[in-house]
A = this chain, B = another copy of it.
């Protein structure tokens, strides 16, 4: 008789308008599932035991009632929430993967997931976990999607030169803390903004930002930026949008670049009510390049990135701060906290320990 396991799942309960709340999600009672792939699963499927789940700001966009075709499908009420995570393969009909392999990629907010094609293309085998002090959870962050996002956005989109000035918003988050350190390594002067004194201190003491400010304490963001960048900003790594973007446009230098990675300040506003950006004229006068990007377009750069970043992790050149919630039942609260800035560092949820 085949082995079974109990599976708990977090589903979207209803579409979200405004800020997400824990009640928008629901942890369903455990059900019995087979511990192997069945004939119901299409060829190429992979059964995994989920170990860590990643809470990322883009997930908020998938919680809204879909208005129009988007680059990504939304969540469906009653269905399991999906996102990046780290997992161990239990059964596989994907020739790339075997039982026992550790993987990172798109999985479900549940104890076990059957990942089906084409989503299996997002599963990557993990080779370096445990070696030289690289925790498995890093594959939800610095060695996963946020890491490649920071690398592509900063090095490919912004094309930094030593001596340039760099501003990073949401700078203590999963991506921001990396961009700050990549900028420092590139010989740039880097300043970050965050939403608490504790985070500002972290930016300066742990991540090596040359300066930092708490945007909640600044009545005039354009003045705060002018103070931190008397000569102006060459590169802006945009994670927040809204009023910050408008203030940045006034403070950019000629030929500056803005990599648009995220707009977390906007995700809880209704469509059509997103904040006004008015200083578009700066784009001409200063010959700015404003460029959006999505990490999946740049997957082919992952091996190059991993090879580049691993030595810096191992020798401590790059610091990485995680905010770990324990247990699948804590996942909704952890995700909700992102939009109130409650996390300090990369927010993830550890749901099992089999390392």
| A interface residues, Cβ below 8 angstroms from B | 70-71, 241, 245, 254, 260-263, 266, 272-294, 297
Residues of B within 8 A of A263 (CB): 280-281, 284
Q: Which 4 A-B pairs give the minimum distances between C-beta atoms?
A: A276-B276, A283-B292, A284-B292, A290-B290
**Given known A71-B254, A254-B71, contact A278–B288 (CB-CB < 8 A):** no
Contact A278 B280, beta carbon cutoff 8 Å:
no
How far apart are A223's CB and chain B's nearest CB, in angstroms?
13
Measured in the bound complex, the distance between the Cα atoms of B172 and A337 in whole Å is 52
**Given known A71-B254, A254-B71, contact A285–B276 (CB-CB < 8 A):** no
Contact A291 B293, beta carbon cutoff 8 Å:
no
How far apart are A282's CB and chain B's nearest CB, in angstroms?
8
How far apart are A179's CB and chain B's nearest CB, in angstroms?
16
**Given known A290-B290, A290-B291, contact A70–B278 (CB-CB < 8 A):** no
- Report the copy number of this chain in the oligomer: 2
Residues of B within 8 A of A279 (CB): 274
Contact B289 A71, beta carbon cutoff 8 Å:
no
Residues of B within 8 A of A283 (CB): 260, 290-292
4 more A-B residue pairs beyond the given contacts A263-B281, A283-B291, A289-B290, with a C-beta to C-beta distance below 8 A: A241-B280, A285-B294, A287-B293, A289-B291
Measured in the bound complex, the distance between the Cα atoms of B283 and A261 in whole Å is 9
Contact A266 B281, beta carbon cutoff 8 Å:
yes
Residues of B within 8 A of A266 (CB): 280-281
Contact of A284 (CB < 8 Å), options: B278, B287, B288, B294: B294
How far apart are A18's CB and chain B's nearest CB, in angstroms?
16
Contact of A278 (CB < 8 Å), options: B254, B272, B289, B290: B272
Contact B284 A262, beta carbon cutoff 8 Å:
yes
How far apart are A122's CB and chain B's nearest CB, in angstroms?
18
Residues of B within 8 A of A241 (CB): 280-281
Measured in the bound complex, the distance between the Cα atoms of B277 and A202 in whole Å is 34
How far apart are A271's CB and chain B's nearest CB, in angstroms?
9
Residues of B within 8 A of A294 (CB): 284-285, 287
Contact of A287 (CB < 8 Å), options: B273, B285, B292: B292
Could you pull out 25 A-B pairs where Cβ atoms are within 8 angstroms? Answer: A70-B285, A260-B284, A261-B284, A263-B280, A266-B281, A272-B278, A273-B278, A274-B278, A274-B280, A274-B281, A275-B278, A276-B276, A276-B277, A276-B278, A277-B280, A282-B292, A285-B292, A285-B294, A287-B291, A287-B292, A288-B291, A288-B292, A289-B292, A290-B290, A290-B291
Which residue of chain B has its CB nearest to the CB of A262?
B284
Which residue of chain B has its CB nearest to the CB of A267?
B281
Which residue of chain B has its CB nearest to the CB of A241?
B280
Residues of B within 8 A of A245 (CB): 280
